[in-house]
Structure 1
Amino acid sequence: MGTRNGTVVSEFILTGFSGLDQRLQLFLCPVLLLMYLTTVMGNAAIVFLVCVDNRLQTPMYYFIGNLAFLEIWFTSSTSIKLLVILSSGRKTISVSGCFAQSSFYFALGAVEFSLLVVMSFDRYVAICQPLRYAAIMKHQLCIQLVAAVWVMGFMFLIYRLVLLSKLTFCGLNKIQHFFGDNTPLFQLSCSDVTLLWKTDAFFILFIVLSSLCLTVASYTCIFFCILQMPAASARRKAFATCSSHLTTLAIVYGSCIALYAPSSGHVSLETNSIVALLNTVLYPFLNPFIYSLRNKAVMLKEGPEGSHDPCNSTAFPLTVMHF
């Protein structure tokens, strides 16, 4: 740990949203608390239903269950500390705690992007290869795909911890954010972070852009397949389902690119914090609604193996946003 004038940095001060009026902070705290509790309970309910209902033992619901489980931890990595800051005004966080928070945030984000690619692939098979769906999306393959995603996330977590452990800090300890994000954290370091910054930016952009390209490729094939469907009702149902999922992808990828694109360094602290709040709080909150297991989807019985209809919710699960 670096020093300056004999000062040892043992904790950081999170100054994100410190410019807000005190009354606004007091108003924001119960709103975020309600959203956080709703996020945890809603996603936990999805995980529970997927685990106990035999009719939901399909590949897509298996992936949705993993995504819901992920969202609980992803939003918890930043929301809990943010709620403590807003409610008690305690803005300090230990160096090790900041490193752990930052590492879990980025690692879970990498898992989320990878899981969205897997879900897009499942949709591609269900829509474009319906007669081969059961033969391709076997239970073993689903487990292997999910295991690979989580192992990759764990490796990224270790990489982040090793990267941050190489930083030294020389007295300055105010992080201009509500969590240990890259830019404000690296700016506090008195060591040369050029190589670390370029390496970290490369990995982040590689994960985001590669997953985006694969997702776009899957949906391009899906849209061409939908356009060839003879029944207008089938096309409308498929397009409605895809549009709601694409709304989710727009939130996730849009907020991430806005935060970590090369030009985002010129964005003000307030704007950056708001976009980060959208990414870490709003989307996990919306997830139970977007992927809600509506009664119609839950009660539908699965057809014979291999008879997956692209417009049947058991093969192409309903993700229509409803409030």
Structure 2
Amino acid sequence: MANNDSMVAIAGAGSLGCYVGGCLALAGRRLILLARPRIGDVVRKYGLRVTDLDGRDRCVSPEALSATADPAAALRDAEVILVTVKSGATQEMAALIAAHARPHAVVVSLQNGVDNADRLRAGLAGQQVLAGMVPFNVVQSSDGDVPLRVHRASEGKVMIEDGVAGLAELLAVEGLTVETRGDMTAVLWGKLLMNLNNALVALSNLPLATELADRRWRLILAGQIGEALAAMKACGIKPARIAGLPPALMPKVLRLPDWLFRRLARRMLAIDPEARSSMWDDLQRGRPTEIGELQGAVLGLAERAGISAPVTARVAALVREAERQGHGSPGLTPEAVRAA
């Protein structure tokens, strides 16, 4: 059971973790951020600035936040641990939680991909681990800006697996809408369909709203989603409707002419002009991306079903090449992606 006095640890306080932590701190929740020194030092000295698409602009004072790079200090008193690291760091975080957290602490995965909760469970035998899904983008201010600004650039409800009384009430605060779901497998596959666009933003070097407004890019996204839906159907997976369109209609609507798409998909385009994808940010910062957990999950499912997914495979190969080059986003055109 959780309540509003439960100690919350944000395990991996990057853009998303700082946004969630900032909202919780502003609501008076008890929390601590486990962050890299680059972020932790800035937060301890200057606090956080938390803004969002709805026009909120709030500051958290340094005194209202605790941040550390020491996993023992961050995890030992936590009753709820929100895991917000990238998928590639999931096993490492599971090991840290196993070494330092209380055995009764509830662990919640707020990560992209479909199997991070399972990865955490594999490393945390006996610990309660819940799947979660975050539908919105968070943009972080440039290095050197103080206080650090984390901006929620799109909308949507955070969804967490049902099973712990009071948890949704603990986490649902101003700027952070939370609901519980009993069908998290379907939710995570539904979110994965949306996340297939992360790679296109990363490859194009365009803001998300600009990229989605261009039918040439949407045709590539529609191709990926169509392949993913075919693989899911062959494997008996029915993705949930996350926001806006039912999954089966997404490829059709994405292929519409620009003027009609703008009229019918207003919610999909309700995005801050500065929003980009976390995969774009990873390329810009020279970090490994989550391409293996997103496009890679579709390719694995397609292989299991014995069907092809050529569009998804091309997009994945281009992102991996950009990772190897290490020069940030390659700024490709949609024609270059299709011709690859």
TM-score by length of 1: 0.26
- Higher strand residue share: 2
Structure number with larger C-alpha Rg: 1
**Which one has the bigger helix percentage?**
1
Q: TM-score, normalization: structure 2? A: 0.25
The structure showing larger relative contact order (alpha-carbon pairs under 8 Å, at least 6 residues apart) is: 1
